[in-house]
Amino acid sequence: MRSRNLIILAFVAVVLGVFIFFVERHQPTTDERQERVDRLFRELDGETVVALELETSHGPVRLAKTDDEWRLVEPLEYPADAAVVKTLIDAIANLDTERTLPIGEVALGDYGLDAPVLGVTLVDAQGGRFSLAVGEETPLGSNRAVLRDTGEEIIVVPGFFVASLDKDVDEWRSRDVVDLLEHDLGSVEIETAEDRIRAEQVDGLWMLREPLADLADPDQMRSLISELNTLRVSEFLSDNVDSVELGLDPPAYRVQLKPMDGEETVTLELSAEIEEAGTVVCRRDESDLFRIPSSIAIRLSKAPVLWRSDKVWPLVSWDVAKIEFVGGVDEILLDRVDGIWQAEDGDQIDNPEVSRRLSALADLEVREHDLVLPPTEVMGSVILVLDDDEGAEGLTYTFFAPLEEGGHAAVTVSSRDNVMGVDAISAETIVGDLERLRQVAEAPPRLEGE
């Protein structure tokens, strides 16, 4: 009998726990219930709003949320400013009732509610509608008289929300020019009257395809994409404006951003003339016209050679799993095991010396591009296998001695079709005197008493 009672009690405890977890925890707390007592719309949850129908002094505005993105649908189709929309939704959801006035005791006209200019309706995901007609300010204060769709009473509420409601259509439009992160992009193309630059992202690296084939400068590409994403519209322009007068036929700059996932390419066309306010005219996707800061034109006007990388290769030394150093008749094979470099032949290795050479390799800068492979002897080579390339052929650097004393050493990299000139001392630091890799640094002398 006692065992059966324990089983029953355990079952009740489980059911209670499930109820609390799935039902009770979603119910408002005592404090939240108290806050909602005076709320105008007690059942409204701003997070579930999917549409807005607005009456403003500038005309009707309709907005809808699709795939978690807000868009204008009336009086025009355009991405909406999500922050502006959220401000209005929060303002309405948090409106408190100051006092109520029965309609039979007061006239609607006394509060500007007989023919209200302003109105707002919020529609939630379940189809619930929360509507307000907005009247005039009350005497001696900034409160507003409003009328819910039930029409039972005039309600006086704080009037702060009107500033979030009564906006011109342009104030509802998103000011973002581009919304594409670097990892979203497959290619970037820049056209000017004289030049055409095209870069593609391959396995996380930017590679130039035009006007030459080479490694692109990742910092330049990253800065361009970041600047495009931080651009904001200064002013929207009418579609009826003559594009020739705006300097867009032909444009001074054309930028095409092609996403990796097959989404439509974003095209930006910019005028050349910088206006007094420091802006240029931009046409996006052959339709949207607006002004943007002229600073972006400075970056787009860079010569093609400035888009190629001046780093020999964008190496991250911590990504290296195996190294093969070759210099003269000497050869050393190294594996990284638990963060420690070990020689495959069992010799002791000076790990700080390995790190120093890897750092020099990662920092190696190009002093000259597009050299002819010199007839000088090979100084040495380094073959790297990266953590995510186990079993691959690896990345091979080959260094050639300078043609003359004080000249640059030449280097080739297996993943880059370019013979480059680099500092000869840096090259010697990387592949010279390989025996030093086998020397273990001496321990510091022990002090008396240790």
What pLDDT is recorded for position 106?
81
CA distance 153 to 289: 46
Domain 182-307 is found in CATH 3.30.70 = no
In the predicted model, what is the mean pLDDT of residues 375-395?
Answer: 84
What pLDDT is recorded for position 159?
92
What pLDDT is recorded for position 13?
64
Confidence band (pLDDT; 50, 70, 90) for 3? low
The Cα-based distances of 103 to 136, 138, 145, 172, 216 in angstroms read 16, 16, 12, 34, 71
pTM of the shown model: 0.79
CA distance 93 to 49: 10
Q: Residues of 218-255 as b/e, b for ≥16 C-beta within 10 angstroms?
A: bebbeebbebbeebebbebeeeeeebeebbbeebbbbb
CA distance 271 to 296: 11
Residue 174 pLDDT greater than 50, yes or no: yes
Mean pLDDT, the chain, whole residue set:
88
In the predicted model, what is the mean pLDDT of residues 223-230?
Answer: 95
Residue 28 pLDDT greater than 60, yes or no: no
Residue 441 pLDDT greater than 60, yes or no: no
**Residue 215 near residue 209, CB atoms below 8 Å:** no
CA distance 61 to 53: 6
- Separation of CA 74 from chain center: 29
Quick: pLDDT tens for 133-152.
999 888 767 899 999 987 77
Instruction: Flag the least confident range among 2-16, 53-67, 118-132.
Output: 2-16
In the predicted model, what is the mean pLDDT of residues 33-45?
Answer: 75
Residue 324 pLDDT greater than 50, yes or no: yes
Q: Strand 78-79's sheet: what is its strand order?
A: 78-79, 69-74, 59-66, 49-56, 118-124, 129-137, 144-148, 153-157, 99-102
Query: Is 421 buried (19+), middle (13-18) or exposed (0-12) by CB count in 10 A?
Result: buried
Quick: pLDDT tens for 274-307.
766 789 999 999 989 999 999 998 889 888 889 9
**Residue spans of beta strands (DSSP E) within 96-228:** 99-102, 118-124, 129-137, 144-148, 153-157, 185-191, 196-202, 205-210, 214-215
Among 166, 163, 155, 164, residue whose Cα is nearest residue 42: 155
Confidence band (pLDDT; 50, 70, 90) for 32? very low
In the predicted model, what is the mean pLDDT of residues 349-356?
Answer: 94
The two tokens of residue 54 are: 């607005």
Residue 225 pLDDT greater than 90, yes or no: yes
The Cα-based distances of 114 to 14, 103, 139, 155, 348 in angstroms read 57, 12, 17, 14, 92
Give, in degrees to the nearest 5, the angle at Cα 142 between 136 and 144.
40
- Separation of CA 182 from chain center: 7
Residue 37 pLDDT greater than 70, yes or no: no
Those residues with Cβ within 8 angstroms of residue 302's Cβ, 6 or more apart along the chain or in another chain? 220
Residue 16 pLDDT greater than 90, yes or no: no
Residue 36 pLDDT greater than 70, yes or no: no
Among 74, 39, 65, 62, residue whose Cα is nearest residue 124: 65
Residue 31 pLDDT greater than 60, yes or no: no
216: left (phi over 0), alpha (psi -120 to 50) or beta: beta
Which residue intervals of the chain bear CATH 2.60.40? 182-307, 317-438
The two tokens of residue 289 are: 């016209």
CA distance 359 to 399: 16
The helix (run of H) or strand (run of E) holding residue 16 is helix 2-22
From the CB of residue 271, how many other CB atoms can be counted at a distance below 10 Å? 24
The two tokens of residue 240 are: 């009826």
- Residue 190's beta-bridge partner residues? 197, 255
Domain 317-438 is found in CATH 2.30.30 = no
Q: Give the whole-number percent of the chain exceeding pLDDT 70.
A: 87
Is the model more confident about 392 or about 224?
A: 224
What pLDDT is recorded for position 245?
84
In the predicted model, what is the mean pLDDT of residues 211-219?
Answer: 94
Residue 80 pLDDT greater than 90, yes or no: yes
What ranges in 376-442 are assigned the alpha helix state H? Answer: 424-431
Residue 30 pLDDT greater than 70, yes or no: no
Residue 369 pLDDT greater than 90, yes or no: yes
